[in-house]
Structure 1
């Protein structure tokens, strides 16, 4: 795609956010290759833009300068988050921090399913789906009458893999493409300040506990898999916690991206580590901007 084509694509409101993330994804790759000390001119050249245009897009997407976001994108920022913004789940819950983050005012409705419902794997259920722009590239959103049941990012995995993953969680359900029905929930989820959206998920009791713990991590903060294991009363189940985090069906709203290794390493991410790094940077920038000067 030429620079002119890119600019024309970005000019349409529906393509703007996907375009911005596309630029960001290439910039992330450039930071990986050139190192966090790369100059603005070097990064702009990597994405075939003038430095001024590149800086403007950066700032529109992240809310901070390219130089500041480079720091957020560096692996060292994960360690800094653990050092400076790390909040244990027990402390977050005790102090009410779980309700203070932007994403943690979500109305979360867990619908308990009987073993029989689980065994039917969605039989008789209608699941609507649609593609939407998000700050992190194209997002597949699925939902029932009761709420969002899946969010997948396809920038790294690809659209076919994203759809196969979410639809495979409800193998007996009827899937219907109805983006207009889901749009209010998607708009709430991916707005500048993510708003309330009902969630409808299926999972084993252990998985549900892990996902509830993830919901208690404030935006702009992170935790570790071992802290989650402690918080849910299974301190030795770190590996099982990691598996449950990876099986989270509703990316971003149930913030599995906020779980890191003790070392500060990012660990895995179902939809690709570049997306995880971008989400953490995006949230950190907004958390820092919201702090009193």
Structure 2
């Protein structure tokens, strides 16, 4: 097995393949021995690795990918954003051991297409597939899961949001933030670059605790625009910083998952992973 960074990348790939395999199988029915064999590991080694990263055993994790998991979350762990904001969960908030700090860029930066903005980018492994990360001197401004759309489309999608910015490949400048995000440790700075309405929606998403969910209509009420549910849905879909700005925690009123810009399998895996860690 590789050492150092290679070992971490290897573990990311193992967990990503395991999550994909569990999701493809509908969330139930795969034994530890079956999964370990497919990952080319002994059952004991695979169990230790999976439990270390996810926080629970593969067997228990599969329970969280049941078809009615989203509806259960909506029934049992619906988050009232007004309450969350009133108790200090908006602003700087905790995602397990990860401390997020964010600032919004001026509306003019977005309106000008990012003219004069210098954005670094790089490609990184993660347990949910390859990630494209982008960042300014203020912090991460983009993080996209790549597997569903491919590298070229993912880059065009993120870069197209700030077409006049200057993009430079510099993964070394983003590496620490990306690794902290997926290791759930340390501090990560975010730079929110969007229209004022979009930023209000993204800030509301940051108030939803890990392992909980909200709805588009709840977000609309929380930002003082109860009639703008459709516009809220659009803003959620335009969130450029996946995982850290948790647009995957937004569901429809019915409990249906709704859409997800980076693919529904990733959304299901993220919700299951967060619930498993919270309950573990």
Normalised by the size of structure 2, how large is the TM-score? 0.88
Matched positions, count? 278
1:201 aligns with 2:192: yes
Q: What's the counterpart of residue 70 of structure 2?
A: 78
- State how far apart, in whole Å, the 1-side matches of 2:164 and 2:32 are: 51
Q: CA deviation at 1:65?
A: 1.0
SS of aligned partner of 1:107? strand
Cα pair distance change 1:155/1:25, threshold 3 Å: farther
* Mapping 1:37-56, distance limit 5 Å: 37-44=29-36, 51-56=43-48
Which residue of the other structure, out of 234, 238, 263, is the alignment partner of 2:225? 234
Q: CA deviation at 1:158?
A: 1.8
Q: What's the counterpart of residue 31 of structure 1?
A: 25
- Kept in 2, the 8 Å contact 1:79–1:263? The answer is yes
Q: Larger deviation: 101-110 or 43-52? A: 43-52
Q: What's the counterpart of residue 223 of structure 1?
A: 214
Q: CA deviation at 1:19?
A: 0.9
Q: What's the counterpart of residue 58 of structure 1?
A: 50
Q: What's the counterpart of residue 255 of structure 1?
A: 246
- Kept in 1, the 8 Å contact 2:142–2:241? The answer is yes
Q: CA deviation at 1:157?
A: 2.2
Q: CA deviation at 1:70?
A: 0.6
Q: Larger deviation: 183-192 or 155-164? A: 183-192
Q: What's the counterpart of residue 157 of structure 2?
A: 165
Q: What's the counterpart of residue 22 of structure 1?
A: 16
Q: Tell me how large the CA RMSD over aligned residues is.
A: 2.5
- State how far apart, in whole Å, the 1-side matches of 2:105 and 2:119 are: 15
- State how far apart, in whole Å, the 1-side matches of 2:236 and 2:254 are: 18
The structure with the greater share of residues assigned to strand is 2
- Kept in 2, the 8 Å contact 1:185–1:197? The answer is yes
1:16-62 Cα shifts (integer Å, max 9, x gaps):
24312332243234422xx6244444555665665445434432331
Cα pair distance change 1:103/1:228, threshold 3 Å: farther
Cα pair distance change 1:47/1:87, threshold 3 Å: same
Normalised by the size of structure 1, how large is the TM-score? 0.84
Q: What's the counterpart of residue 288 of structure 1?
A: 279
The structure with the greater share of residues assigned to helix is 1
- State how far apart, in whole Å, the 2-side matches of 1:208 and 1:128 are: 21
- Kept in 1, the 8 Å contact 2:70–2:256? The answer is yes
- State how far apart, in whole Å, the 2-side matches of 1:13 and 1:38 are: 26
- State how far apart, in whole Å, the 1-side matches of 2:226 and 2:30 are: 41
- State how far apart, in whole Å, the 1-side matches of 2:179 and 2:106 are: 26
SS of aligned partner of 2:174? helix
- State how far apart, in whole Å, the 2-side matches of 1:175 and 1:68 are: 42
Q: CA deviation at 1:14?
A: 4.1
Cα pair distance change 1:48/1:102, threshold 3 Å: closer
